[in-house]
Structure 1
Amino acid sequence: MTRLFTALEIPQPAAFHLSLLRGGLPGARWIDPENYHVTLRFIGDTDGRTADEVANALDRVYRPPFELKLKGFDCFASGRVPHSLVVRIEPTPQLIELQAEHERIMQRLGLPPEGRRYIPHVTLARLRGTTATDVARWLAEHGAFDGPSFAVDRFVLYSSRASVGGGPYIVEEAYPFAA
């Protein structure tokens, strides 16, 4: 079984900018900058046949390049327990349409629909034992975040091993956008 997801890569200059935010949060397991990405669709554990079907279906996605901007911090939680520190991505029509197309493709292949609302983001850290007060303090210390914009000219199909958060991720296929 291979664990798959589709995503947008974060270019090195933007990843470096994000890496400067690491530190100062108790219980945070910081994601390595080379593993930063914007998930489009988590696919999950798949057999070889399904993985091939996914890769082939994604090859038909035709989109022009577009720009994204890193803007604002957030913390995802289960109930009142924080589990992820993230930087939000400004949702553009191009991003939302691309993500929706990936969702439609996966459902046409017989995969179950994604149950969560799509919130474009880059995970900075996985949190364990971090209190809401710790997160609030970190957010207050770092203030409003207005990060760089970057060009998006392809999406990728990543594989990952079942592990405790944050990679390593392997690019299985890359799908360039139309020039």
Structure 2
Amino acid sequence: MNKTFRFGAAGIAMFAALGMSSVAHADTATADASAEVLDALTLDNDTALDFGTMVVEGAGAVTLSPDGSAAGDLTCSDPDIVCSGTTSVAGFTVEGTQSKAVTINLPSNTIELRHPSWTAATDAQHSIELDNFTASDNGAGGPEVTLDVNGVATFEVGGTINLGGTEEAGVFSGTFDVSVEYS
């Protein structure tokens, strides 16, 4: 009886092990993995933003647009401001991975252009506000450009200067930042 009991217990254990393996059946699946590596973007400023020359007898605004019939369309319609001279929009070249879309990030704040004799005490007569930046979109629905098959795109940036009418004669200047990133 002791021998029968051992064979019986071993049979039950073996039967349980066989039953367990069919219930705990495992499977394996293969997943794909990928990573796209893009070239680092480089951005160069090719031309400066230049509003030309103006005679100011009162307050008003002057806008230099990158998207007119020709880049650099100047809107100088205030009767107290007379514009003349050569103008240019800021021109940029961006390089990266071919055929990729790139977002153009423009300043959202006002930039101050200052007269050479600017001081905190002479602020009103020695500074001009530059804002309302716009970028050409080169057909991409902007502010975005698509890099060509060589990984290159160009775009222009314009803006608006606001004149108070009391500015001192001279050249007002300043800088602004434009950045780009893959869309």
TM normalised by structure 2 equals: 0.25
Which has the larger strand fraction? 1
Larger Rg: 2
Which has the larger helix fraction? 1
TM normalised by structure 1 equals: 0.25
